[in-house]
Structure 1
Amino acid sequence: MSEQELVLSVRHVTSGYRDRGLFRRGPYQEVLRDVTFDVRHGEILGLVGESGTGKSTLARTILGIVKPDQGQVIHYTKRPQMIFQDPYSALNPAYSVEWTLEEPLRVYGKYDAPERKRRVREMLDRVGLPEECLAAKPAELSGGQRQRVSIAAALIQRPRFLIADEPVSALDVTIQAQILDLLRTLRRELDLSYLFISHDLNVVYQLCDRVLVMKEGRIVEQGTVDDIFDHPKDDYTRQLLAAAE
């Protein structure tokens, strides 16, 4: 596959840590082990596995927050942005929605004030929020509205690739469906790619094109949604699917 068809390549990434004792460091604890996969242009790639299996560490490694001990992460487009599980903790409670969305544009100094405000209003409209929300602070918004603001904040600098870490797990079922529809619409309108991290296999089945299955820091299986859900090859994948029934 050519580089033009990819937004990200992860190649043989291994990562871990050592506990720090008072007088010496503990043994090496491996978190990611020889992880290799690609994210293709325009796709939604799901990442599933039990809690503590290394999914969030992989996300932080892709973002550059964690440096791998071995292997490499190759970005073919602008660095990805993150949509978090809990939008309330991801948004600064002291500032308005307008400030939250405008601040990254101000920091990087790309646009004058009128253009910043135009882009903020355009993005607010894209995520389905009225202009009245601009003056609101996070505590004054519903959970679904906060997640829409979080998505707008991730998109305000026009990335082509987003990492969504359990973005609907804190929402009720009705709001979940609305946010999933929004993510689909944004992919189509803005030509986005996603790495979608979730423990909810039903959500992954609805949204994703391909799936990675992670166990104890390793990718044990990957394939299309139909391959993984209808013809799983690994025992661990079968266990996850059985538990979700």
Structure 2
Amino acid sequence: MLLKTEALTKNFGGLTALNKVTFEIKEGEIVAIIGPNGAGKSTFFNLISGFYPSCSGRISFMGKDMTGTPTHEFACSGIGRTFQTTNLFTDSTVLDNLIIGYRSKTKMGMLDAIFNTKRARRDEGASREKAGEILEFIGLTEVKNQPVGNISQEAAKRLAIGLALVTEPRLLLLDEPAAGINHGETSELANLIQKIRQAGITVCLIEHKVQMVMNLADRIMVLNYGTKIAEGTPKDISNNDRVIEAYLGGAEHA
């Protein structure tokens, strides 16, 4: 088991955003989390990536108890993620964004950079090599020298995924990766997610585009008002009356 949560709970004041959610992610899967707005999906992501501390329950990753662990240790352990709002350095080039992203994996310090030490040169070379590898993987080589502010929204989505991939995660969390892009771009992004899985990286995504999820995911968890109301294969979920009532009947099927 790659990641497991047990009775994971998060309260904000008197509001229970997530209520005793138990869930498992197996290595090599693509799993999806769906549900209406306010269901607790992003809260769940924030808990399993260390951005929020849980109020109760347990998180384990690769057999290690991560409950209460600082945020940076989640990333160092092999959990990468994107966010609903794409946070990129818009004045820097596509390539430079990835180089900056990889530097978190290097040991170069400020003095190394100032004095251009051997370690600085070695780490700079490694950063450029890794950035080039990820650029090719996500299909953005042709725009590598363009400022991020000049590229399309779909390319920015790919770059955000690239920034998560450059940290070499075992588990990649994608928060609404297809939001704001059209049907054809959504299909291409789904192909990239499949490619990521084929590269040996497990993927968990939050997504409102139900048809994309049904075509892509091995398993789906459905949240509603912070509670898990269903879990199963896409076929199980699409035939679940409770899910249809809570979500699928009014969801976007693009």
- Find the counterpart in structure 1 of residue 81 from structure 2: 82
Distance 1:58 1:138 in 2: 29
Instruction: Indicate yes or no: 2:97 matched with 1:100.
Output: yes
| 1:66 aligned residue (27, 52, 56) | 52
Q: Which portions of structure 1, spanning 4 or more consecutive aligned residues, are displaced by more than 3 angstroms?
A: 236-239
Distance 2:221 2:131 in 1: 34
CA contact (8 A) 2:17 2:226 kept: yes
The Cα of 1:29 is off from its aligned counterpart by: 1.3
Please identify which structure carries the higher strand content. Answer: 1
Question: Alpha-carbon deviations, 1:14-45, whole Å to 9, x = none?
Answer: 11112xxxxxxxxx211100000001111111
Question: How many residue pairs end up in the alignment?
Answer: 225
- Find the counterpart in structure 1 of residue 124 from structure 2: 113
CA contact (8 A) 2:32 2:221 kept: yes
Question: Alpha-carbon deviations, 1:44-63, whole Å to 9, x = none?
Answer: 11111000111111110111
The Cα of 1:238 is off from its aligned counterpart by: 4.2
- Find the counterpart in structure 1 of residue 133 from structure 2: 122
Q: Secondary structure at the match of 2:54?
A: coil
Segments of 5+ residues of structure 1 without an aligned counterpart are 1-5, 19-27
Distance 1:108 1:158 in 2: 9
Instruction: Indicate yes or no: 2:234 matched with 1:225.
Output: yes
Letter in 2 for 1:10: T
Letter in 2 for 1:116: S
Instruction: Report percent identity of matched pairs.
Output: 26
Letter in 2 for 1:200: K
Segments of 5+ residues of structure 2 without an aligned counterpart are 64-76, 108-121
Q: Secondary structure at the match of 2:177?
A: coil
CA contact (8 A) 2:2 2:62 kept: yes
Distance 2:23 2:105 in 1: 31
CA RMSD of aligned residues (A): 1.7
